[in-house]
Amino acid sequence: MPELPEVETIVRLLRPDLVGRTVLAANVRWARTIAFPSVRTFKRQITGQVIQGVTRRAKFLHLQLSTAELLIHLRMSGDLALKQPGARPSKHDRLILLLAPAGRSASSQAPSTPASAARDSIINLVFNDTRKFGRVWLTKDARDVTGRLGPEPLERRFTVRRLYLALHARHRQLKPLLLDQTFIAGLGNIYTDEALHMARLHPLARADSLTERQARRLHAAIRTTLREGIRRNGASIDWVYRGGDFQNHFRVYDRAGKPCPVCATKIKRLIVGQRGTHICPHCQKV
């Protein structure tokens, strides 16, 4: 599943080509992709909307439209790409939005032929999803979908003190808590393992047992790991996301049996909260 760095990378790649464009039409090729509203209402309400911004909230892509909000969660295998209108849809394309050039209205940009579409730079935004887990919401208020999410770990408001107090308000094992999107938004299996190793913390440690010093290390490790992931355009390993190379710089994730980059102890794989987890037994003691 794409995590914060992968989604942020997609947002940064798409934003220059999407802002200012008008949605001419929506082709919903698998109805369950649309989580809300109904497909008929979705197609009616999104037509004519102008894309005013492209951002991210946790693992959601967030398109701010002229009178609505479009939220996309890629889940396990989702991907977004821009394609020419004449391109034949692929087997796993679930939603296709036909977009007019920036500054052009839907009424003035209805396509006629592939040649004129190419000249006018009309383009398709395509949501491809092999496993069909991804979902799309069209709503008046994005908080209807994201309202229960925890703080963004790269924002200023996510302070060491806030993290320390939040940890001590929970009586849970550390890794499952960090994966809880209502606790911190955007962390997944990869970046949690990487951050815990950097912070020298065991995933089975009790959250409310951490000292303030340990919380400070964890705070720094989370932010450093996420920023490095973004700098390297995310990780490209077990899903369709393309172009990242953070997987070539993992400390522990998916490196069972290989040496720890700090102490050379063999990395161990264990199961924590039903998730494959990678640790250094020497650097990360319970």
Which bin fits 109, alpha (ψ -120 to 50), beta or left (φ > 0)?
alpha
Can you say how many angstroms the Cα of residue 213 is from the centroid of all Cα atoms in its chain? 29
Q: What is the CA radius of gyration of the chain?
A: 21
Label the pairing between strands 268-272 and 275-279: antiparallel
Q: In what order do the strands lie in the sheet with 60-65?
A: 34-36, 135-139, 69-73, 60-65, 51-57
> Among 3, 6, 8, 69, which one carries the catalytic annotation?
3
> Among 57, 212, 275, 281, which one carries the catalytic annotation?
275
> Among 21, 59, 217, 251, which one carries the catalytic annotation?
59
For this structure, is 59 an active site residue? yes
For residue 232, which amino acid is it?
R
For this structure, is 43 an active site residue? no
For this structure, is 2 an active site residue? yes
The count of C-alpha atoms lying within 13 angstroms of the C-alpha of 39, restricted to the half-sphere facing its C-beta, is 11
For this structure, is 3 an active site residue? yes
> Among 2, 153, 176, 203, which one carries the catalytic annotation?
2
CB of 6 within 8 A of CB of 235?
Answer: yes
> What residues are labeled active site?
2-3, 59, 275
